[in-house]
């Protein structure tokens, strides 16, 4: 059993009804960590993992390993300079044009694609991540739960998801908010204000220590301020959950000025490339993507143009564009990966495979290379090699739904049906579809000639998932009760 984070609901981003509560900021001290009756970090992580299963059911996440890898590297670079550098973090991108970001227990931090596209520099993007990281490292989420009741894990995570994702399900969000109000509105409002101020202060310090421009935080706030003034009744999500005031801007500017600039620019090029790729992936049509980059002003635009051409099936032109970039910068991994994708999309699999093999020798457990090489191997009919690649990765790295889905495909094509069903079960479980996961495991048990070892392992997993399914059913009944 876990403490319910009812009070957490108001400090996590996505609680639109509380924008007025955020609008005023008292001069409150930095709170730091608490030694009170907090949920443990293991409890936070388990709630966060369950929360992510709700997220995957409710939202469309960006399924691009390269951009996700970039965001993960950026976030971890910031987190490594925090007061708790050993904490685990998982960063992900929601495919949504609105400007928003949010943090959840256990270090899960989501960023909307629209926010990334509306940043003007890597430091501005890092400023948003640093603010969210601060919510986690200062244990705002755990401290918010001190006065809450106890609840089962799926229900806790489901309420979190209802609030954080309230824009997608406003009725469910409002019901959970109503329950929170009954527990004491003013205390929660005050707690939220102080957390936002602390997250700004700690975030600016992280920016500076990680080598980013600390003035990027007030700079991003100033971008938001005109919208806050002009569209008070219809605010962007970011402004609802991060109300921008002149006092907040002034406070962050003063703190940034005291720290001074200490900026490394080596990563900004990668930011520009990944931002260009994100534009291509989120464009409604390939033609619109091409039009965005037709002028090709700068390497990032030319890279985006090459990707857009490939998306439109114009592989010869795409190959020419990426080839020109590689002539000037042959060691840029993003260009090499783009070249491999272009070749694979054009049906030229052997050149693509060679590019992946060459880079994997340098970065043997890189998630982006593993996923893209695995996809190319499956496309080339080399399922046994894809299977070996994915098993090697899983011995050292945490699995994602994408990895399990690919593994299921490789196991099936290589002649291992039991393993294929088991991998698909884990894929569905991570996607929040517990009943479908159970169905896959029952299919595995029905395979003729299944070993005793596999049968015992599958039956043990079925028992675990049945318990999970029962808890999820209980959480659904709780949510359906009249408030």
Question: Can you tell me the distance from the alpha carbon of 102 to that of 367, in angstroms, rounded to the nearest whole number?
Answer: 24
Locus of tokens 């640093």: 130
Catalytic residue among 44, 50, 196, 200: 200
Phi, psi of 60 (to 5 degrees): -100, 115
d(CA 186, CA 167): 23
- Dig out the tokens for 146 from the structure: 């001190």
> Which pair of structure tokens corresponds to residue 259?
């720290």
CA 453 to chain CA mean position, Å: 36
Nearest to 80 by CA among 197, 256, 211, 196: 211
Report the distance separating Cα 160 and Cα 105, nearest Å: 9
Helix (H, G, I), strand (E, B) or coil at 110: strand
To the query of whether residue 132 is one of the catalytic residues in this protein, the response is yes
Task: Give the largest Cα separation in the chain, rounded.
Answer: 70
Cβ-count burial 364-376 (b if 16+ within 10 Å, e if not): eebbbbbbbbbbb
Taking the C-alpha atoms of residue 334 and residue 348, their distance in angstroms, rounded to an integer, is 19
Beta bridge partners of 2: 151
Confirm if 206 and 82 have CB atoms less than 8 A apart: yes
- Distance in angstroms (rounded) separating the CA atoms of residues 345 and 357: 17
Set 43, 50, 96, 132: catalytic member: 132
Residue 122 a catalytic site member: no
> Which residue's structure tokens are 């890597």?
122
Residues 6+ apart with CB under 8 A from 101: 13, 109, 110, 111, 112, 115, 128, 129, 131, 132, 238
Enumerate the active-site residues.
Answer: 132, 200
């Amino acid at each position: 059993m876990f403490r319910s984070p009812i009070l957490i609901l108001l400090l996590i981003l996505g609680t639109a009804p509380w924008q007025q509560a955020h609008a005023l900021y008292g001069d409150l001290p930095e709170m730091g960590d608490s030694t009170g009756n907090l949920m443990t970090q293991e409890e936070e992580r388990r709630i966060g993992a369950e929360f992510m299963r709700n997220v995957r059911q409710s939202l469309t996440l960006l399924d691009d390993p390269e951009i996700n890898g970039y965001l993960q590297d950026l976030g971890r670079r910031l987190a490594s300079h925090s007061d708790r550098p050993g904490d685990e973090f998982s960063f992900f991108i929601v495919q949504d044009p609105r400007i928003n970001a949010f943090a959840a227990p256990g270090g899960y931090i989501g960023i909307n694609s629209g926010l990334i596209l509306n940043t003007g520099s890597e430091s501005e993007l890092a400023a948003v991540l640093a603010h969210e990281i601060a919510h986690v490292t200062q244990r705002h989420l755990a401290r918010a739960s001190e006065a809450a009741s106890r609840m089962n894990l799926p229900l806790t995570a489901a309420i979190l998801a209802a609030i954080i994702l309230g824009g997608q399900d406003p009725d469910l969000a409002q019901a959970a908010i109503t329950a929170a109000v009954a527990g004491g509105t003013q205390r929660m409002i005050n707690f939220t204000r102080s957390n936002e101020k602390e997250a700004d202060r700690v975030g600016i310090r992280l920016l500076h220590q990680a080598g980013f421009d600390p003035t990027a935080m007030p700079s991003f706030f100033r971008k938001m301020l005109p919208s806050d003034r002009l569209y008070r009744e219809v605010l962007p999500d970011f402004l609802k959950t991060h109300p921008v005031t002149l006092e907040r801007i002034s406070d962050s500017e003063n703190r940034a000025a005291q720290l001074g600039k200490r900026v490394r620019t080596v990563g900004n090029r990668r930011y520009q490339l990944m931002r260009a790729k994100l534009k291509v992936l989120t464009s409604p049509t390939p033609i619109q993507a091409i039009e965005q980059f037709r002028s090709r002003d700068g390497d990032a635009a030319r890279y985006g143009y090459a990707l857009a051409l490939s998306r439109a099936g114009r592989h010869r032109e795409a190959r020419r564009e990426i080839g020109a970039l590689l002539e000037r910068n042959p060691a840029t991994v993003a260009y090499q990966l783009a070249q491999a994708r272009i070749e694979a999309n054009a049906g030229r699999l052997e050149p693509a495979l060679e590019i992946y093999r060459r880079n994997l020798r340098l970065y043997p457990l890189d998630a982006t290379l593993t996923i893209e090489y695995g996809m190319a191997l499956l496309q080339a009919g080399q399922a046994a090699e894809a299977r070996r690649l994915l098993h090697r990765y899983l011995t050292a790295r945490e699995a994602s739904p994408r990895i399990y889905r690919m593994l299921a495909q490789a196991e099936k094509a290589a002649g291992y049906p039991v393993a294929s069903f088991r991998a698909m079960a884990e894929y569905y479980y991570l996607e929040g579809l517990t009943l479908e996961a159970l169905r896959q495991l029952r299919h595995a048990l029905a395979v003729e000639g299944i070993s005793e070892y596999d049968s015992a392992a599958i039956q043990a997993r079925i028992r675990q998932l049945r318990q999970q399914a029962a808890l999820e059913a209980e959480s659904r009944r709780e949510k359906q009760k009249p408030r």
